[in-house]
């Protein structure tokens, strides 16, 4: 089923997170020397996008889905997964290579569950008008959360420059470093270069 336009902003963010998950899976097992860069990239993605995404789902999408008996248990599962995923994000600096792989597999599974079960269910059960109202509320929630994040990010720009995580050559794409460069921009996170530009 094609994604309704009301849910497209969340689906785009899902794609960004899945792109990072795929890159980490392809780079695994990650050597200790590369762990710091991957951890930093995950932390930035959480702060600048996933945190906002979770909040919008919890404020707008999950309450709407609870209005349908057949989606209630799914919503409870997804809320519990948000709690567990937030715990992973908080612990990201201490994750080993094996833990990192477990984490991204859990995140991927969660995203696919939302796309294939929750979003599909909402599109099946809600009228076009209800979906439009949901979309408007979602836009407001994402905008408000993004503005709050932007204020915080402005204060941190000079302190936390994002470094691109290294990737081994990927046989499917032909070039690890080029793929990493473009995939990082596909992730859609804000990138603030350090003053000295020594990447």
The boundaries of the domain holding residue 70 are 5-187
Distance, in Å, from the CA atom of 141 to the CA atom of 148, rounded to the nearest integer, reads: 11
Whether 47 is covered by a domain: the verdict is: yes
| pLDDT tens-digit series, residues 151-193 | 555 555 555 444 445 544 444 444 343 334 334 333 333 333 3
Distance, in Å, from the CA atom of 189 to the CA atom of 13, rounded to the nearest integer, reads: 10
Percent of the chain residues past pLDDT 70, beyond the cut: 72
Which structure tokens are listed for 182?
């473009």
Number of domains in the chain: 1
Whether 195 is covered by a domain: the verdict is: no
Distance, in Å, from the CA atom of 129 to the CA atom of 100, rounded to the nearest integer, reads: 41
| pLDDT tens-digit series, residues 97-135 | 999 999 999 999 999 999 999 999 999 999 999 999 999
Quickly list DSSP for 1-66.
-PPPGGGHHHHHHHHHHHHHHHHHHHHPSPPHHHHHHHHHHHHHHIIIIIHHHHHHIIIIIHHHHT
Given pLDDT bands bounded at 50, 70 and 90, which one contains residue 143?
confident
Q: What are the distances in angstroms from CA 45 to CA 77, 81, 127?
A: 23, 18, 33
Higher pLDDT, 147 or 118: 118
Whether 199 is covered by a domain: the verdict is: no
| CATH code, domain with 177 | 1.20.120
Whether 80 is covered by a domain: the verdict is: yes
Whether 25 is covered by a domain: the verdict is: yes
The pTM for the full model equals 0.74
Q: Prior bond to 29 cis, omega within 30?
A: yes
């Amino acid at each position: 089923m094609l994604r309704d336009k009301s849910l497209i902003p969340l689906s785009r963010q899902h794609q960004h997170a899945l792109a990072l998950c795929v890159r980490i899976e392809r780079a695994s097992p990650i050597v200790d020397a590369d762990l710091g860069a991957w951890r930093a990239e995950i932390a930035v993605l959480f702060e600048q996008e996933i945190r906002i995404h979770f909040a919008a789902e919890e404020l707008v999408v999950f309450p709407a889905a609870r209005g349908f008996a057949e989606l209630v248990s799914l919503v409870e599962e997804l809320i519990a997964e948000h709690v567990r995923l937030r715990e992973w994000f908080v612990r990201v600096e201490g994750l080993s290579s094996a833990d990192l792989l477990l984490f991204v597999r859990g995140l991927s599974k969660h995203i696919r569950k939302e796309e294939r079960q929750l979003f599909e269910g909402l599109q099946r059960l809600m009228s076009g008008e209800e979906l439009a109202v949901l979309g408007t509320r979602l836009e407001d929630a994402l905008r408000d959360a993004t503005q709050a994040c932007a204020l915080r990010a402005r204060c941190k720009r000079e302190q936390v420059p994002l470094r691109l995580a290294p990737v081994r050559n990927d046989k499917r794409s032909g070039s690890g470093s080029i793929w990493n460069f473009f995939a990082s921009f596909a992730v859609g996170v804000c990138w603030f270069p350090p003053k000295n530009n020594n990447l």
